[in-house]
Structure 1
């Protein structure tokens, strides 16, 4: 994992990942290296050779949340070519919460959901992040 971070004068940072990098691990490492407590992932594009994500499954009535919210999610782990059309999210208390929309030409399938560890960059991944300072909970 050898991400490149390019910082603009305005405070935004372009994060570039290369083939084989784990997307979530790279974002997490960047957060630790640059001591980002809070921030926003404004955009991300690229391609994946392995997809790891989850999304909420359909249900008739909104279920009561339990400590194990995993039962409400469908998990996907898939090898193959995936094009990332959009990626955005938040960083809060040093933890990333990232959503993405991907398309597989092999499957003619578009999926949107929550990024998980295991997503591997196929050729390139580029993201724009902006650290936010002074956020307080209300």
Structure 2
């Protein structure tokens, strides 16, 4: 991974073959001291795609009971990664296509870059945000 910065508050990441996408994004957020930000663009190809999504409309007590986790191998064309960084913690979603199906969900650790990856994060220094669990144990953005 290599990062580049702009005077307008952007941090741009180049992810190389074998890099782990979410782990590199977290490293860049820490390295560039991004407390609050927006992942405005993300694309690439992954050989491993790990995501989860919510498959129900009720809210069970256990967070894990709400999610379906997909751990997919192959050649995945990642057409979009986006989300927010609050309190230094990225919450990102991704959309990808393997030639037969499209999947989308919450980006998890272990997504290995196949050919390349590119991510742009816009720093927002004037809006300090954090996530706080609500009465249903769902983390929601709030001003800090």
| Equivalent residue, structure 1, for 2:78 | 84
Q: Secondary structure at the match of 1:26?
A: helix
Bigger Cα displacement from structure 2, 116-125 vs 11-20: 11-20
Q: Which runs of 5 or more structure 1 residues have no equivalent in the other structure?
A: none
- Give the drift of 1:134: 2.4
Q: How many residues align?
A: 130
CA contact (8 A) 2:84 2:91 kept: yes
Q: Which runs of 5 or more structure 2 residues have no equivalent in the other structure?
A: 129-142
Alignment of 1:29-108 (within 5 A): 29-57=27-55, 59=56, 62-66=57-61, 68-105=62-99, 108=100
**Higher RCO by CA contacts (8 Å cutoff, separation 6 or greater):** 1
Alpha-carbon distance between aligned partners in 2 of 1:36 and 1:26, rounded to the nearest angstrom: 14
The ranges of structure 1 where at least 4 consecutive aligned residues each deviate by more than 2 angstroms after the TM superposition are none
CA contact (8 A) 2:44 2:117 kept: yes
| Equivalent residue, structure 2, for 1:12 | 10
| Equivalent residue, structure 1, for 2:132 | none
Alpha-carbon distance between aligned partners in 1 of 2:37 and 2:60, rounded to the nearest angstrom: 27
TM-score (norm 1): 0.89
- Give the drift of 1:9: 2.3
Alpha-carbon distance between aligned partners in 2 of 1:4 and 1:127, rounded to the nearest angstrom: 11
Q: Secondary structure at the match of 2:34?
A: coil
Match status 1:127 vs 2:122:
no
- Give the drift of 1:65: 4.5
| Equivalent residue, structure 2, for 1:111 | 103
